[in-house]
Structure 1
Amino acid sequence: MAVLIIFILLCLLSFLCYSLFFMKPKDSRDGRDLPPSPPSLPIIGHLHLILLSTLTHKSFQRLSSKYGPLLHLRIFHVPIVLASSASVAYEIFRDQDVNVSFRHSPPIEESLFLGSYSFISAPYGDYWKFMRKLMVTKILGPQALERSRRFREDELDRFYKTLLDKAMKKESVEIVEEAAKLNNNTICKMIMGRSCSEETGEAERIRGLVTESMALTKKIFLATIFHKPLKKLGISLFKKEIMSVSRKFDELLEKILVEHEEKMEEHHQGTDMMDVLLEAYRDENAEYKITRNHIKSMFVDLFIAGTDTSSTTIQWIMAEIINHPKILERLREEIDFVVGKTRLIQETDLPNLLYLQAIIKEGLRLHPPGPLLPRTVQERCEIKGFHIPEKTILVVNSYAIMRDPDFWEDPDEFKPERFLSISRSGQEDEIRDKFLKYIPFASGRRGCPGTNLAYASVGTAVGVMVQCFDWKIEGENVNMNEAAGTMVLTMAHPLKCTPVPRTLNLLPP
């Protein structure tokens, strides 16, 4: 009898596992109108095709090149729709923007990092709309950025002096590390009105937590995909690692919050991000009542989005510039002409530096910080005439879209001039209205609200490095291979070079 009971339990467990992980979800349309699907294997679906490369965005790009710009894939039981062309992206964000403005449920809801409190991972609803409104008006809007411009100028001057000190000592510089310090200090100052303290280790702790968080992004993506079936079995992937980072952020940010509240009680009248969010937190008549965890999670989002992505972008662009001496020389000539040789480049110079703008855009086209844009289709719909079931994961491959040979001439070449011709002919609005071929910051309602800040931060950092220094590297060219294992596009071999001061007589800003 005992053997029979064990046999029955094993059969039930096997059926449960099969139904949760391996059985295709049923659809009333029987899959007849689903997008094309590459040949799959039993149980694992298309997992083997995706794992052909450790760079997921490139695996997806190869699949789309072979089978089409809109595909239906399956990883175990999980359906995924992959969009990889500008015309498909345009239709999605034009006709289905609200429908695809949702995220999958976070794997660890209580985490400050991409949990239920996070603006990045929050579902499209009252909280997300409230925070988005705060972001585009009082936190990252034009007037808010103008008020905080002095903070960024101070940190840019500090960045220049750090590089100059290393240049005088003939020390090499790891570009992404110095850029991370610049961006981290800038975000700190914009958040709480002061720099993160290097003496107390505060700045180092934040940078370390950002690094830990970014290393977890791919694991969180996998945990999100398999969250629901695993939850039924009482399993939570990577919970220990995710909550460890969350608790460290919580401890640090609670201390900063308390410090700021004490200053407010002493009649501190500030205009930093902390003031804005604490005012919303204390407003009994606010459209949405946020909590301290919402504030902390917002700052986690800002540190991650404002530090790591901008730093890797600066590194990629500097690598491209160093590999293209003629482009470097032309950019330097533009900066010398517009800015001169007696002061540092400033944000207010950027509108007049058209070639620098073109270089930043071209760098983002080739090396978007987030090459894959994951969404969830909330309700069933049609895209390009194909039926998309509700709750399907949608992945827009911005990397493939911005290297699509149907829309970009020499798509894998670094040619900033292509953006000069677009600007001069006034085609940018026309391109945006007909198809989405340039989406480094996503698009639609869930497009990045910090785009203007990113362009300003990256533009001035690259501008200072080109304006003030020559750069020596080992070997003839920078290795441009991409690193695996993260959802952010990073260099496999961090750019390390030695700055050499140019003969300039720079005045303090």
Structure 2
Amino acid sequence: MLETLFVSAIPFLFFTIFLIKWYFFTTQPTHKNPPPSPPAFPILGNLHQLSGSYPHRKLQKLAHQYGPLMLLHFGSRPVLIVSSSDSAREIMKTHDTNFLNRPKSYIDVRLRYHGKDVTTARYGESWRQMKSLCTLQLLSNKRVRSFRTIREEEVALFVESIIKRQSLAVNLSEMFAFLSNDVICRVAFGKKYSRDETGNMVNKVLSQLKKLLGGFYVGDYIPWLAWIHCLSGVDAQVEKLNDEFNKFLDGVVEEHGNNFNIKEKKLYEDGDQDNKDFVDVLLELQRDEMAGFNLDKEHMKGLIFNMFVDGSGTSATVLEWAMAELLRHPRVMKKLQEEVMEISNGKPDITENDLDKMHYLKAVIKETVRLYPPVPLLIPRESAQDINIKGYDIAAGTMVITNAWALGRDPNLWEKPEEFVPERFLDSSIDFKGQDFQLIPFGSGRRGCPGILFAMVANELLLANLVHKFDWSLPDGAKPQDLDMTECAGSTIHRKVPLLAVATPRC
């Protein structure tokens, strides 16, 4: 009897909770003039409108109906969706000091060392010091140039591996991922982990980490449902991956620490002080207390996480989409090859000295990130205080998401926005470094990505060498217009179907 009553009471209990949550959700205070909003469900808010794999596309459609500044509710959390360049400028430049914070996230707390990284850390003195450390010590122009030999060596190895497989279809998606990992491993750790047992483990963990980082976690938006993460197995998976990646990073830092004095002495004797990997630099800053704040082990691992996990996915994604569009557009491929051949002037290899002269190559890269920003919905920000933007009242604590994908395809900003036309950038000063708000695939302002220069130099070098060394075609006689360009969601938006192509060495 008691058991029957208990079972019968469960639906009533959930219904009661539902009504309570609904009441508080629908009776919360409203501001004088909030941005337009689509109708919301109790508890869920507008989450049901973003279900599926392409939230950036769905938000674009909603923005067409409700405007470039649109207020949604993800569960109990108010979220401002920014879909115009003018509004993005207001958020990231005019009122940037009010939008420098990052909202707290379930996955970031567990995988990014409780906010001790530069990407997702809450705004404050610790973040300012880490950002300064990145821009002045790890990713300065001088430091990026010092890794030139590494980039050129890895590109040469990449080309050699393709030559060995000539006339056979190569999986460029997979190869780009390996190349990005190899370059970043050498820059960050001083050696590669791509083919040995440790490398297999690292690549597997890296792939799983990226999937988790691109996931949706209901506890971020409906806190009283956070227990679902435990029941679904997400908590266990996160802890397992966190332990495995931590073990790897601990081993790397310990190995560098044991060899630090020996390597430091050798670099000094060789007069090659610039040839240090990221871990060397961090250990030196920690030892000599040069960082300006307490650079503990978790800060170090958080910064390495940014470079290794975030950086590798971004570079590989840009290369994958660029090559896919070149294969779809033989005219563009030919024009790029002609530029590269003219500038190489008979040299067997393209070096980084040649890149500044390759204006069409840079246009191809810009057009790629316009159409395929690696992270189409930029990392969220959070308003610190109540503020008025474009006549709308935005409450403190509102999450702000900028739809960089929508900006890149806005017909008010771009002629024929859905077409791949690199020529649009040849007579234009527009760049992707954060000053032109119609093209901000890497964000802008103080919260913009500090690794743009590092990533783009490597991408330009590889792309130039690939079109210089080879003619490219699709396997099995497939036509360019038949190439599947379907997206697949994750921490970055990459191709759902791996990019296969056949390379024929050019005479």
Distance of 2:392 and 2:427 partners within structure 1: 36
Corresponding position of 1:176: 173
Deviations 1:296-351 (A, max 9, x none): 22212211222112111101000101111111111101001112332321222111
Corresponding position of 1:323: 328
Corresponding position of 1:369: 374
**5+ residue gaps, structure 1:** 504-509
Higher mean C-alpha displacement, 400-409 vs 145-154 = 145-154
Taking structure 1 as reference, are residues 322 and 197 closer, same or farther at Cα in structure 2, changes over 3 Å only? closer
The amino acid across from 2:492 in the alignment is: V
Does the CA contact (< 8 Å) of 1:321 and 1:328 recur in 2?
Answer: yes
Deviations 1:445-490 (A, max 9, x none): 1111011112111111111111111122131025343334424211
1:492 aligns with 2:490: no
Deviations 1:236-267 (A, max 9, x none): 97222222211111111111111111211325
1:364 Cα deviation after fit: 0.5
Corresponding position of 1:202: 198
1:128 aligns with 2:132: no
1:500 Cα deviation after fit: 1.1
Corresponding position of 2:69: 70
Distance of 1:487 and 1:286 partners within structure 2: 29
How large is the RMSD of aligned CA atoms in angstroms? 2.8
Distance of 2:173 and 2:153 partners within structure 1: 19
Q: How many equivalent residue pairs?
A: 491
Deviations 1:399-422 (A, max 9, x none): 001100001000000000011020
Corresponding position of 2:217: 222
Taking structure 1 as reference, are residues 110 and 264 closer, same or farther at Cα in structure 2, changes over 3 Å only? same
1:38 aligns with 2:38: yes
**5+ residue gaps, structure 2:** 268-274
Secondary structure (helix, strand or coil) at the match of 2:494 reads coil
Taking structure 1 as reference, are residues 310 and 108 closer, same or farther at Cα in structure 2, changes over 3 Å only? closer
Does the CA contact (< 8 Å) of 1:22 and 1:77 recur in 2?
Answer: no
Does the CA contact (< 8 Å) of 1:361 and 1:419 recur in 2?
Answer: yes
Secondary structure (helix, strand or coil) at the match of 1:74 reads strand
Does the CA contact (< 8 Å) of 2:53 and 2:488 recur in 1?
Answer: yes
1:119 Cα deviation after fit: 2.3
Distance of 1:308 and 1:82 partners within structure 2: 25
Corresponding position of 1:211: 207
Distance of 2:228 and 2:362 partners within structure 1: 51
Taking structure 1 as reference, are residues 254 and 17 closer, same or farther at Cα in structure 2, changes over 3 Å only? farther
1:360 alignment partner, one of 344, 365, 371: 365
Does the CA contact (< 8 Å) of 1:210 and 1:308 recur in 2?
Answer: no
1:256 aligns with 2:252: yes
TM-score, length-scaled by structure 1: 0.89
Taking structure 1 as reference, are residues 10 and 372 closer, same or farther at Cα in structure 2, changes over 3 Å only? same
Distance of 1:396 and 1:191 partners within structure 2: 30
1:383 aligns with 2:389: yes
The amino acid across from 2:382 in the alignment is: T
Corresponding position of 2:452: 451
Distance of 1:63 and 1:460 partners within structure 2: 39
Corresponding position of 1:395: 401
1:224 Cα deviation after fit: 6.3
Distance of 2:408 and 2:21 partners within structure 1: 36
Distance of 2:111 and 2:305 partners within structure 1: 7
TM-score, length-scaled by structure 2: 0.89
Taking structure 1 as reference, are residues 108 and 412 closer, same or farther at Cα in structure 2, changes over 3 Å only? closer
